Amino acid sequence: MEKLVQVSEQEVRIDFSLNRKCRTNVVLTSLSSTCPVAFKVQTSSPHKFLVKPPTGLIPPSSYATFQVVLKPQSQIPTTYPRSPSDRFLIKTAEFVSDSTRPESINSWFNSSSCPRGSTRDLKLKVAFVGPFLLRHAVSGGDCDAVRHIIRRQRSILAELPPAEAESLLRVATELVNPENMINLLLEAGLRIGEGVRFDQLNNEVDSKLVQDELEERRVAEASDQLTEVVRFKESGSLNRREKKNITWHEGFG
C-alpha cells in the first residue's frame, strides 16, 4: 500500500536537557495531489510526551507540522541516543468530510466514515541527542554513544561555542584512556579556539599516561619485592645486607 505522506525524519530526535521542556518539530508532506490527508499522532509514552496538535489536515501537495514536547525529566535517559521504549505512531488517511475541526478529525478516524483498512500507518522511534548528552557520553568514555549522537547531529561539534568545545575536549583528556575519544571528537569536527594549544593538550594526555605507567611499574616492583621477602623468609637465609635492603624498600612502599 502506497504512503500518503512523507515524514521529515525517520525518528523523533529530542535535544535533551535535564529538568526542562524539550521540543522538536516533525514535518509531514502530503503525497496526494487530489485529496486532503488527515493525520493522528499517538505515542507509547503519554506520561512523557505531548503532541501539538495531535490531529490535523494536510492540503493536497502541501505539508503540516506537529510539535513533540518532552516533559521535564529529572534523570538522564537510561539508554541513548536510541530509546527502546518510546515510539510514535502516525495514522494517515484520505479525508472526506464537511468538517475540518480537530475534534471531528479525531472522531472521524474511529467512525464508519473512515473505511476500514484505508489508513496508512507510520512508526517513528525516538532518539535523545544534544550537547548535554554528548558531554555526558564523553565523560563516561562511551565512544559508541558519542558516535551515534554525532551521526544524528552532523554539525553538533562544529556549532559548539569555543569555551564549550575546549571544555568538552578537556573532559576527554581526563579519561583513563583518552586517545580514542580525543581522536573521535577532532575527526568529527570539534573546533578548537586559538587559546588552546595542541602541544599543551598533548602534554596533559602524555603526563597522565606517564603517571599511569609509573604507577604500574611501582606496583610491579612492589610485587617483586614481596616475592623476594617470601622466598627469603621461607629459606631462612636472610643475611644482614638483604635485611637492610628489604627494610629500606618497605619504608618507601
Residue-wise pLDDT tens digits, 21-57:
999 999 999 999 988 999 999 999 999 999 999 999 9
Distances from the Cα of 177 to the Cαs of 136, 170, 184, 211, 229, in angstroms?
A: 16, 13, 13, 12, 34
Query: Which superfamily does 5-129 belong to?
Result: Immunoglobulins (2.60.40.10)
Lowest mean pLDDT among 5-14, 53-62, 76-85, 232-241: 232-241
Tell me the C-alpha distance between 234 and 241, whole Å: 17
% of the chain beyond a pLDDT of 70: 71
For the chain, give the mean pLDDT.
81
**Matching residue, cell 500500500:** 1
Contact 28, 39 (CB under 8 A): yes
Q: What is the DSSP letter of 175?
A: S
pLDDT tens string 86-118:
999 999 988 876 655 656 788 878 776 676 667
Domain ranges of the chain: 5-129, 132-187, 198-251
Tell me the C-alpha distance between 244 and 247, whole Å: 5
Distances from the Cα of 237 to the Cαs of 12, 200, 223, 242, 246, in angstroms?
A: 74, 52, 20, 9, 13
Buried b (16+ CB within 10 A) or exposed e, 107-116: ebbeeeebee
Comparison of pLDDT for 95 and 219, the residue scoring more:
95
Residue 39 main-chain phi, psi, to 5 deg? -135, 150
Q: What mean pLDDT do residues 8-25 have?
A: 96
The answer on pLDDT for 71 being more than 80 is: yes
